[in-house]
Amino acid sequence: MHTFKELVTDFGERFGVRHFPQSPASLYEPGEYFLSWGGKRIRPVMCLMGNEMFDSIHPDSYHVATAIELFHNFTLIHDDIMDEAPLRRGMETVHMKYGSNTALLTGDVMMIRAYEYLNKINGQYLHRIIALFNQTAKEVCEGQQLDIDFEKMPDVSLDAYIEMISLKTSVLLAASLEMGAILGGASEGNCRHIYEFGKNLGIAFQVQDDYLDAFGDPEKFGKETGGDIRQNKKTFLLLHALEVTDAEQKKTLKRVMNENPADKVQKVLSIFKACNVDEWAMQLKEKYLATALKHLDDIAVMSVRKKPLEELALFLIQRDY
């Protein structure tokens, strides 16, 4: 058994190679540029962890993990085009550096490359892995489209938002774990539980992310807070506030969002606090985390094999900032 951190190092070293041919450089250098930034590689490591819960790590898991990470990076490159984002993690995005058309093709070819790694799988699980990969990939596209749709809608229900966030971010975490589990020979019941663990953990993480952007300590959070509020971004906090505030507060909230006063963040935060959005969000996060851990508990393997995923959950969620 390996810890999360050991697997991050192990996978990071294996993934840190060239993934594309040299030529044509105009197509493949942008892809190498984007992949060279590194990162925690959480999704592929979750695939390895899902595998190791049931067996020693199978060589095919590295192929699947690589496919997952390439797919994730493909979505980031295309998302950045759609969001017209100039920077990601402080670096110039692919479309800013190389143009939108090349970024579009760089994403396309990165997705194809992901399927090349999937095609390296030998044996009985190939069809099942590709089916889950495809289903998840479609759901991620659905989530991104719903995100685009929601931006234009004046009112979005919290339930609809949770569905969108789940498709856009959680299902890939869930499927990463399950693909590893499949390769480890896990039963269907165990596969379902590990998937639900990942899905609920992902939603808990997103609730926390929204919370920290509003209420986090900027020094510990590592970036300025209030960004979502300034952009009127639909978050767990805003959607809940709009659902629970009284008519008067709701009017004030909408006015502040429209008028963008200098003290917008302060004003929105005080409305959030007045209707206890902060406490609600912490409870919501705990609810999803508890559901995740219940599914982890229900997986029929010895509890010592669950330790690494428990640690991962606490690493992702119980951050004190």
CB of 44 to its own copies, least distance (A): 19
CB of 49 to its own copies, least distance (A): 25
| Residue 87 parent element (H or E) | strand 87-88
Q: Which stretch binds its own copies (CB under 8 A): 11-19, 105-113, 243-251, 286-294?
A: 105-113
109 binds its own copies (CB under 8 A): yes
Which whole-number Å values give the CA distances from 75 to 21, 82, 109, 139, in the listed order? 21, 10, 12, 12
6 lies in the site for its own copies, by CB under 8 A: no
Assess 113 for contact with its own copies (CB under 8 A): yes
If binding is defined by CB under 8 A, does position 231 make contact with its own copies?
no
Contacts of 272 (CB under 8 A, 6+ apart): 214, 237, 241, 278
DSSP element (H, E) containing 91:
strand 91-92
Stretch that binds its own copies, among 4-12, 136-144, 251-259, 264-272 (CB under 8 A): 136-144
Interaction between residue 90 and its own copies (CB under 8 A): no
The SS3 call for residue 92 is: strand
Peptide bond into 30 cis (omega under 30): no
CA–CA dist 179, 187 (Å, integer): 12
Q: Give the three-class secondary structure for 88.
A: strand
Residue in 10, 39, 40, 126 binding its own copies, rule: CB under 8 A:
126
* Shortest distance (Å) from residue 157 CB to its own copies: 15
Applying CB under 8 A, does 112 fall inside the site for its own copies? yes
- Which residue, among 280, 288, 137, has the nearest Cα to 205 in the 3D structure? 288
Q: Which of 101, 157, 270, 303 binds its own copies (CB under 8 A)?
A: 101
State which residue, 55 or 79, has the beta carbon closest to its own copies: 79
Which of 2, 10, 12, 27 is the binder for its own copies (CB under 8 A)?
A: 27
What is the rounded CA–CA span in Å between residue 1 and residue 306? 10
- 138-177 residues near its own copies, rule: CB under 8 A: 138, 141-142, 144-146, 148-149
Positions 50 through 79 that interact with its own copies (CB under 8 A): 78
Alpha carbons 14 and 207: distance in angstroms, whole number: 32
Q: Give least dist CB 134 to its own copies, A.
A: 5
- Regarding 134 and contact with its own copies (CB under 8 A), the answer is yes
Q: How many residues bind its own copies (CB under 8 A)?
A: 34
Look at residue 186 and give its three-state secondary structure.
coil
Q: Cβ(213)–Cβ(235) under 8 Å?
A: yes
- Alpha carbon distance 91, 78 (integer Å): 16
115 binds its own copies (CB under 8 A): yes
Does the protein bind its own copies through residue 310 (CB under 8 A)? no
Burial 83-110 (b: 16+ CB within 10 A, else e): eeeeebeeeebbbbebeeebbebbbebb
Q: Which residues bind its own copies (CB under 8 A)?
A: 24, 26-27, 78, 81-82, 100-102, 104-105, 107-109, 111-113, 115-116, 119, 126-127, 130-131, 134, 137-138, 141-142, 144-146, 148-149
